[in-house]
Amino acid sequence: MKKLLLIFIMLVSTTGCIKVGFKDVDKRFFVLGFGVDKTEHENSPYKVTLKLGIPSSKIEPGQAKSQLITQEADNIPDAIRMLKSKVDKELDFGHAKMLIIGESLAKEDVRAPIDFFIRRRDIQEIAFVAVGSPSAADILEVNPKSEILPANALFLSFEEVATESPFIVTEYLFDFYRRMTEKGLDPYMPIIKTENNLYNINQVGVFDKQKMRAILTPEETRAFKQLLRKFAKSNVSARSKKVDFSLSIEQFKSNFMFDAKDEKKLQIKIKMRGIAEQSNAPLFQADWSEYEKLVGSAARERFLAVLQTLQKNKVDPLGLGLIYRAHHYSGEKDWENWQGIYPSLKFDVRVNVKMSGTGVIK
């Protein structure tokens, strides 16, 4: 009798499936790309574009199916609610790995869209963030022929599991938000452009705590990525009266250190090792030290140029201010001192290059 009573109590207390808040997969639209642009209307300053993935039985290059929906509104949450009235399924943001902000909005103020992205519990903080040029909607409209799944070409570009380009500088939502709030460390985003139904990602936009201040050139972007990530898979080309020469970098190390005798001088020591990738003259029997000095001089000019560009635009995405604060112990006073030092900071860039081979020929 006691056993029967215990079983009855257990059965009564067992709960079933609750339908509230749960929807089957076939009743969901997975948002893969999320774009926010600025409009010219005061009453609806934001234009939200969503790229929705459409399930398909065939997974082949060029067969990716997607749907774009757009809405203008006074704020981003209102735009999302209005977009829900345009589709027959629930919008699911759990797979929204590509968050794009239009160039005009990025130049004005990115705080509102970033605040929305970081507050939404269903948007991943490891989502990629980027600036779309000329607009986020234009980027999401592109469907490359090589794309197997909707927005997959962008995912592969930024994940660095397929292409590894010295010009593509990946940035995540969580890191961008951290840089917006950290003293001595400023945000950045890669710039995405379109060209013949393809993506062209070879520049970076640098920000202060509110808006984009400048866009680096491709050469500056390459140097920036090397300093930021110690990215080695790049090359340095150098020319002289005797030779036109290019070195493929295989190892890259850098070290930032403030001068102990002069805190207004930053020493940057860079070590690179690589092999010859192109030359218009035989190299094997030549004096390699001459080529090493030639490459070192060209690399030094490249790094110095990007450092001065960042300084000129009063932004610090490399975190030099954070390094300064870490070596001083006066709290807020150190931050005030750094703000006075950075505009006139001197860069002492020293590049040491070692050539380890001439390739498969002499």
| Residue 21 pLDDT | 57
Mean pLDDT of 317-344: 93
**21 or 123: which carries more pLDDT confidence?**
123
| Residue 262 pLDDT | 86
| Residue 17 pLDDT | 54
Q: Report whether pLDDT(27) > 80.
A: no
| Residue 239 pLDDT | 85
Beta carbons within 8 Å of 168's beta carbon, 6+ residues apart: 157, 158, 160, 190, 201, 202, 225
| Residue 151 pLDDT | 81
**263 or 307: which carries more pLDDT confidence?**
307
Whose CA is closest to 165, among 202, 197, 134? 202
- Compute the mean pLDDT over every residue in the chain, rounded to the nearest whole number: 90
* Band of pLDDT at residue 1, cut at 50, 70 and 90: low
Cα 32 to Cα 68: distance, rounded to the nearest angstrom: 10
pLDDT digits 0-9 by tens, 138-170? 999 998 888 877 788 899 999 988 889 999 999
Beta carbons within 8 Å of 277's beta carbon, 6+ residues apart: 235, 246, 247, 248, 359
Q: Report whether pLDDT(307) > 80.
A: yes
Cα 293 to Cα 351: distance, rounded to the nearest angstrom: 9
Cα 183 to Cα 101: distance, rounded to the nearest angstrom: 23
| Residue 79 pLDDT | 97
Q: Report whether pLDDT(34) > 90.
A: yes
| Domain range annotation of the chain | 24-215, 218-362
Domain at 218-362, CATH from 1.25.40.10, 3.40.50.150, 3.40.50.2000, 3.30.300.210: 3.30.300.210
Q: Confirm if 97 and 178 have CB atoms less than 8 A apart.
A: no
Quick one: tokens of 2? 């006691």
* Band of pLDDT at residue 106, cut at 50, 70 and 90: very high
**Total-model pTM:** 0.89
Mean pLDDT of 222-250: 91
* Band of pLDDT at residue 11, cut at 50, 70 and 90: low
pLDDT digits 0-9 by tens, 173-222? 999 999 999 999 999 999 999 999 899 999 999 999 999 999 999 999 99
Quick one: tokens of 40? 């010219």
Cα 234 to Cα 223: distance, rounded to the nearest angstrom: 9
If phi over 0 gives left and psi between -120 and 50 gives alpha, with beta otherwise, what is residue 151? left
pLDDT digits 0-9 by tens, 50-77? 999 887 666 666 566 789 999 999 999 9
| Residue 49 pLDDT | 97
pLDDT digits 0-9 by tens, 124-137? 999 999 999 999 99
| Residue 330 pLDDT | 83
